[in-house]
Structure 1
Amino acid sequence: RPRAPVVGALYRHLSAGWPSGPGATRFLSVSVQVGARRRIPDEAPPFSAFLTDTFGRRHRYLRISLTEKCNLRCQYCMPEDGVKLTPRGQLLTTEEVLTLARLFVSEGVQKIRLTGGEPLIRPDILDIVAELRKLEGLKTIAVTTNGVNLARLLPGLKRAGLDLLNVSLDSLVPSRFEFIVRRKGFHKVMEGIEKAIEMGYNPVKVNCVVMRGLNEDELLDFVALTEKKPLEVRFIEYMPFDGNKWNFKKMVSYQEMLDRIRQQWPGLEPVPGEEADTAKTFKVPGFRGQVGFITSMSDHFCGSCNRLRVTADGNLKVCLFGNAEVSLRDCLRSGATDEELLQIIGAAVGRKKKQHAGMFSISQMKNRPMILIGFWDCTMLNFESRTKKPSELLRYSTSRGRSLGAPLRHLGRPFCANLRNTKDGLPLRHASRRACGHASDPPDQLTHTDPQGRARMVDVGGKPVTRRTAAARATVRLTPKAFHLVRENQLAKGDALSVAQIAGIMAAKQTSVLIPLCHPLPLDNVHVALELVELDCTAVVTATCRTTGRTGVEMEALTAAAVAALALYDMCKAVSHDIIISDIKLVSKTGGQRGDYHREP
């Protein structure tokens, strides 16, 4: 299938109305539409282009997290020191949950799973299930729960229309259960499972995360449960999430589990399943239930993935092990229409990768704790809901600020470069970095060295939290040919301006990784703009970063400008190597104890 049209279509369409000739300046604003509705081949059955990725995967399954809270503290899920929960006002309301559910179902989603945190502690869980049941086209409503409140709520859930149940249970030994989940409740969970069987749920799925040295010796006991009960026990490979101290040695692979079970039951046989199933399913002949293995680490199933996730704070995740999230909540609250929401969803789905990075790379990536079911410490692509309407973010503008017309939604998917870094789904207000000093250090003293001249990281813990901004600039001098190709979006590699813009944004987030003594920062906003100046065939990159923290964002702005310039060089080097990057400089900064700075023109 051909990939979706890229930004170039919009760029070329609009360029016809831009000024030309010597000295003319053209400007790419921060908000860019990337692609359009993807066309499905004529022979394929109709399905939403917005929910179909570039590899042909059709996403019919949506997981919605209803809360970040949980009444257990599972070791593989919750960091030992806990998490900082998102303020209530930043979580999706019931109306917003149902609005998004209706939109996804209208586009072809057939299954919705309600998760958390622990979804059954949400007071309106019965109302949500009942409203979902009314959605035409939705075939299956499922819940994943820790089971503590299940026995009490299940009759009401059944009446409301709940179809499927997954219950988390990691040990059949009460004392070990309490050790793993750091709470009591084993007998309540078992009561909930028995209640589900009694009420006719078949199978009741039991999820068990297998961890070496903790519960792998219970594999056979779990399989034995399926002899007389309509259970599907699903063994989940231990997966890396922030704060769960994952390492390869703790993971018991699918093959090892399978071999151990087959020693006891040699006749264990595979059970045919659906293409998009996450579990490899087996059955002991004569047993009422079955067992499954979720092999995310050792044998991924990315090729048939049909799942999307919406976190409790309203972010769309297209991959469990991806580190990008798109805020649907901000779009909803800024008045986005269904069409605009679908454009954003389509853009996210279109960026979904062929497969995740693999267990070792994943274990090194910064992510959310599992309890915050967005899962990954994310970079969220958000609408600037405080100052602009959604429609205004789908426009280009000239460097003079003149509008170039109404948003051309039909030409592509919006890419909004208003970014913020998060930890546990919240701004990292406690973490910050100061590029040039400690409050107690005199201004003329190097702050990143100790009295002996050894490198050190500045302690900013005692500094006040303030709002800080910084802007940096870089100049890229192109050849006339390269300049023309960039301006007309005719480069073989694609839209150089958009790629450079995205590269700068990504670089700003990675500054603390690239610059050794920088502190990680909670970026409130990153704005990268590229201005083409025809008179001398240059592209001027301007990067502006904003944070609310204890130290400034000069290094983030400088890094963004420099990397955006490098990305533009990379896009153009096939045309000419006679390209010069120069004048990387700080333009301004505000906030902080040492006052504001503005470079003279």
Structure 2
Amino acid sequence: MFRRCNLVNQLRCVARASTETAVVEETPSRLQQLRAKLREDEHEILTDTFGRKHTYLRISLTERCNLRCTYCMPAEGVKLTKKEGILKTDEIIQIADLFVKEGVRKIRLTGGEPTIRKDIIDIIGQLKQLRDLDQVAITTNGLTLTRQLPALQKAGLDALNISLDTLKEERFELFTRRRGWAKVMASIDLAVQLGYKPVKINCVMMRGRNDDEIIDFIDFTRDRPVDVRFIEYMPFQGNQWKENKMISFNEMKAIIREKYSDFQALPNQPNNTSKAYHVPGFIGQVGFITSMSQHFCDSCNRVRITADGNLKVCLFEGKGEVSLRDALRSGISENALKNLIRRAISRKKKQHAANRKEKFPCKMSNIISMQYKYFPYISKYLKSNASIRMYSSLSHIDETGKANMVDVGLKNDSKRVAIARGFVRIGPVISNLIAENNVKKGDVLSVAQLAGIMAAKRTSDLIPLCHPLSLSYVNVCLKLNEESHRVEITSEVRCIGKTGVEMEALTAVSIAALTIYDMCKYAASPGTMQIYGIELVSKKGGTKGDFTIYKT
């Protein structure tokens, strides 16, 4: 309480001082600092379990783009969300307003390419009406900015970043698969003329592609109030990222200092992603965004809303996204939506996936890797697409103690069906991770389902005394029970044959349960995980008739 009163008094003093000519130039920044501190006292800023306060929101306005940059988009293109799946203008403003109430002070509009959205001027104008929002910025490729920027500035646009990876026109067309270099250069000049200072220029630096232009970009800052930001080449699904394409922060500095030995660092703010440098005497400056070589995850204050309304607490994390669009359209209350956002923020990891050095950051890759871990034979199976099963050389034992294969040749073929079930007790922590699809090894239920299906088909290889069968149907169903913190597994196996499929059904449940156990054990406390209750539920077919052991 004392701290708040003190801040209020300081704010009043600075406000009175603003009428005095001597302090007019310093007053705005001082006022902003005090107001920010006061707002922090009034609002509980979105904070994760590592103490990071999230005051910066990036909103993607569209998935579409008028360029096809080679490092950004696969040659075959990407599948876009249908128009009705993209956030509407009022939904964007509603989400932004909620985040501002929760402490966000800066909003950046991105894409795709945000300037191709027809209502962008209206969006910026409405965002500027939000109380306590300090800045609205935009990241653009600059292709259409010469005709749009005056109107964007009038609507209230405070800052802009323009993406430009080369200062050579012919190389621009090679990189972007489109023309337009001259338009981008004109946009930079217009932004300078309209008073944006600095105009930030984002440059993704790639070995063997544009690293020979590092000094050219440095020289570009000589007479222009620009901030050229060199971005380390970063991985994502589709850009065929390889570490040898990345030029690190230290390597770029070494190249620059070969020509400019006095190249030196500038002060940085606590949450800056860019490490600021300049050549003494140059008007502009340089920044390095070191996402790969020297990550800044420990000070990250950013969250992102995708064009289709998903909340991403980290750019690199595809798991555990929360659909704010679906929540809004379902009529959720503001308080419930706040709680949804806060829960998502609380699950933010300490570092992003690339710096955790996870081999398979995308969901499908996780599934594939888990398949190969559990079943080395799946590779051969997938290549041949065959269901041929090897007969075991072992057999049952007869009354004399000698091996004797049970002869089922005289039995009639009939439809055989078996259903089995089992449970894995996982505890509340793992239950929550699975519910949010946030287990670091991948999609637990999908991988376990596949494991159970494949195991059923290989039962005679896993259990030598079982007859090999040509199965006509296998299904494994896994259900997360969040109230009892367990996964319920049910398998159904069918065939037309001379012997039953009870063992196949039981094997499917058992392997699915073991898969869950293995994928989740890293997050389990001792004694919290338990596989139990594996049993045959029912069977149909055969000379003994149909029966149910346990009614579901």
**Length-normalised TM-score, structure 2:** 0.68
Q: Aligned residue for 1:245?
A: 240
- Alpha-carbon separation, structure 1, partners of 2:290 and 2:522: 38
Shift of 1:514: 6.5
Identity of aligned residues (%): 45
* 1:511-590 equivalent positions in 2, closer than 5 A: 527-529=479-481, 541-542=487-488, 562-564=514-516, 574-575=526-527, 581-583=532-534
Task: Choose which of 363, 366, 372 in structure 1 pairs with 2:362.
Answer: 366
Deviation for aligned residue 1:151 = 0.7
Deviation at 1:473?
3.9
- Describe how 1:490-505 pairs up with structure 2 within 5 A: 498=432
> Aligned pair 1:341/2:337, yes or no?
yes
Do the aligned partners of 1:109 and 1:138 also contact (CA within 8 Å) in 2? yes
RMSD: 4.0
Residue 220 (str. 1) matches residue 215 (str. 2): yes
- Kindly tell me the number of residue pairs found equivalent between the two proteins: 425
2:84 paired residue number? 89
Instruction: Choose the corresponding residue for 2:346, options 328, 345, 350.
Output: 350
2:481 maps to amino acid: A
CA distance in 2, matches of 1:555, 1:189: 62
Q: Distance in 2 between matches of 1:556 and 1:136?
A: 57
Q: Alpha carbons of 1:116 and 1:249: their partners in 2 closer, same or farther (altered >3 Å)? A: same
Are 1:197 and 2:148 counterparts? no
Greater relative contact order (CA < 8 Å, ≥ 6 in sequence): 1
Equivalent position of 2:386 in the other structure? 449
For 1:232, give the aligned amino acid.
D
Residue of structure 2 equivalent to 1:292: 287
User: Which residue identity lines up with residue 103 of structure 1 in the other structure?
Assistant: L
Q: Alpha carbons of 1:211 and 1:573: their partners in 2 closer, same or farther (altered >3 Å)?
A: closer
String of CA shifts for 1:166-202, please: whole Å, max 9, x gaps.
0000011111111111111101111111110111101
Give the whole-Å Cα distance in 1 for the aligned partners of 2:507 and 2:226.
55
Q: Is the 8 A contact 2:204 2:231 kept in 1?
A: yes
Q: Contact between 2:235 and 2:354, CA under 8 Å: does it hold in 1?
A: no
1:18-37 aligned at under 5 Å gives the runs none
SS of the residue corresponding to residue 443 of structure 2 reads helix
Q: Residue 87 of structure 1: CA displacement?
A: 0.7
Match of 1:165 among 144, 160, 168: 160
1:555 and 1:50 mapped to 2: Cα distance? 50
How far 1:55 sits from its partner (Å)?
1.2
Query: Deviations for 1:198-234, whole angstroms, at most 9, x for unmatched residues?
Result: 1110100000001111000000001101000001000
Quickly say closer, same or farther: Cα 1:586–1:148, change in 2 above 3 A: farther
Q: What do the CA deviations read for 1:421-477 (whole angstroms, capped 9, x no partner)? A: 9xxxxxxxxxxxxxxxxxxxxxxxx98437798xxxxxxxxxxxxxxxxx984235x
How far 1:497 moved relative to its partner? Answer: 5.5
Residue 567 and residue 166 in structure 1: after superposition, are their counterparts in 2 closer, same or farther (change >3 A)? closer
Distance 1:146 1:544, change over 3 A: farther
Equivalent residues in 2 for 1:448-487 (5 A)? Answer: 448-449=385-386, 473-475=421-423
- Describe the shift of the 1:305–1:569 C-alpha distance in structure 2 as closer, same or farther (beyond 3 A): closer
1:224 match: secondary structure: helix
- Which residue of structure 2 lines up, in the alignment, with residue 143 of structure 1? 138
CA contact (8 A) 1:509 1:556 kept: no
* Structure 1 unmatched ranges of 5 or more: 1-42, 368-376, 380-420, 422-445, 454-470, 479-485, 519-524, 533-538, 546-553, 589-597
- Letter paired with 1:192: S
When Rg is computed on C-alpha atoms for both structures, the one with the higher figure is 2
* CA distance in structure 2 between the aligned counterparts of 1:203 and 1:530, rounded to whole angstroms: 51
In the alignment, the residues of structure 1 paired with residue 325 and residue 509 of structure 2 have an alpha-carbon distance, to the nearest angstrom, of: 27
Match of 2:69 in 1: 74
Residue matched to 1:327: 323
Q: Which residue of 2 aligns with 1:122?
A: 117
Q: Contact conserved, 1:57 with 1:304, CA < 8 A, in 2?
A: yes
In the alignment, structure 1 residue 310 sits paired with structure 2 residue 305 = yes
Q: Is the 8 A contact 2:45 2:103 kept in 1?
A: no
Does the 8 Å contact 1:47/1:108 carry over to 2?
no
- Residue 179 of structure 1 is matched in structure 2 by 174
CA separation of 1:585/1:244 partners in 2, compared to 1, >3 Å: closer, same or farther? farther
Q: Which runs of 5+ in 2 are unaligned?
A: 1-37, 368-382, 391-418, 456-476, 492-505, 540-547
Structure 2 vs 1, CA of residues 277 and 571 (structure 1 numbering), >3 Å: closer, same or farther? closer
Specify which structure has the higher proportion of helix: 2
The Cα of 1:364 is off from its aligned counterpart by 3.5
- The range that moved more, 560-569 or 172-181, is 560-569
CA contact (8 A) 1:531 1:541 kept: no
Paired residue type of 1:528? L
Paired residues of 2:434 and 2:444 also in contact (CA < 8 A): no
- C-alpha distance in 1, partners of 2:250/2:148? 37
Helix, strand or coil for the counterpart of 1:46? helix
CA–CA distance in structure 1, aligned partners of residues 338 and 285 of structure 2: 39
| Cα distance in 2 for residues equivalent to 1:137 and 1:319 | 24
Structure-2 change in CA distance of 1:566 and 1:164 (3 Å): same
SS at match of 1:364: coil
State the 1:46 CA deviation.
2.5
